[in-house]
Amino acid sequence: MKESYEKLYSLLPQRAKVMASELVFKLSGKPYVYHDKILHPPNGLGRGVVSFSIDFELAWAWQYARNQSKDCEKIALHEREQVPRLLAKFDEYGIGATWATVGHLFLEKCERGWDGLAHSDMRRLQHFENEYWKFSSGDWFQHDPCSSVDRDPAWYAPDLIEQILASKAGHEIGCHSFSHSAFGVPCSSDVAASEIDACLEAMKPFGLRPTTWVFPGNIEGNFDTLATRGFKGVRAFPHSWAEVSLPLKRNDDMWGIHASTPIDLDGGGWNLEERLARLKKYVDRASATNLSTHIWFHPSLPRRQIDSLLFPLLRYCAELREKGAIDILTLDGLVDATEDALIREGKV
């Protein structure tokens, strides 16, 4: 049913999309709750939890994006401007987030191999197209400038990663592949392993060993390969409709984490006050059920959406936490809290 709605929704003109989205939310009982009292702690957690995850990618996310690939560096430079503002506000409210980070951003520089290719030791994706991306010619790494953060800051970001790590809010750094590669079709296990290993290697100089994985483009696949690399949590959930829930232990021993809602809004015509009220309902539902809501976004959000949606939402969450109504946890913290609750119940 969700797939049918999304297909119909995609055919609507922009203003109709906005109106349909607002109407469905009001009439459908959203946000939807999934609480399995056998697989989850029967009483949830001690308090409801809010988690924020941030897909941190710069130009890598947009190089093959339909209708946006030509602007990938412009988007990346805008994102660079936003990150210090985001960190300052997260620090102001004492809120840690999970930064799902593309591995290439950890590099200060890189250069072409003997064959003229960027990262010639890595396995390559074959050409493919899907709803969001179109990679139809050339080499997957053809846009990599193979220079440095000083010359091409749209493709490298060790300086910003240092700022994230220095933040007093206490952020988590998660893994988002090395080059924002698709992990579903047509990604082979060899390509997946190459992407994961390169990302982990790039993180080593920063003393990082991530335990949380976020799929680029939310395109899932190669779970077996991920499980062999020691990841504990993965932003993927067996019940895609679930918006307020808790992580579920998978058969591969990783924990599947639900994604409740993005902050990002496509197109114009949105009533930002209505959207903010909607986001607050996700938080309120988590508080009322002792479950969790997980809100995610890209730092490339338009400044107006950050100022009118994200920052007021952070303030709202901080106020509820001060009242003892919610906890705010990174994704690894959410998984640990869920596992600890199950251990206390004798279920793990």
**pLDDT attached to residue 68:** 78
Q: Kind and range of the H or E element at 272?
A: helix 272-289
Q: Which of 187, 241, 178 lies closest to 210 in space, CA to CA?
A: 178
Output the pTM of the full model: 0.93
**pLDDT attached to residue 26:** 76
Please identify which residue in the block is written with the tokens 């220095």: 166
Q: What is the 3-state secondary structure (H, E, C) of 153-189?
A: CCCCCHHHHHHHHHCCCCCEEEECCCCCCCCCCCCCH
**pLDDT attached to residue 4:** 61
Whole-number Å distance between alpha carbons of 286 and 296: 15
Question: CATH code for 15-344?
Answer: 3.20.20.370
Whole-number Å distance between alpha carbons of 230 and 291: 26
**pLDDT attached to residue 96:** 99
Q: Which residues of the chain have pLDDT under 70?
A: 1-12, 14-15, 17-18, 69, 267-268
Count of C-beta atoms within a 10 Å radius of residue 324: 9
**So where are the chain's domains?**
15-344
Whole-number Å distance between alpha carbons of 343 and 348: 5
**pLDDT attached to residue 20:** 73
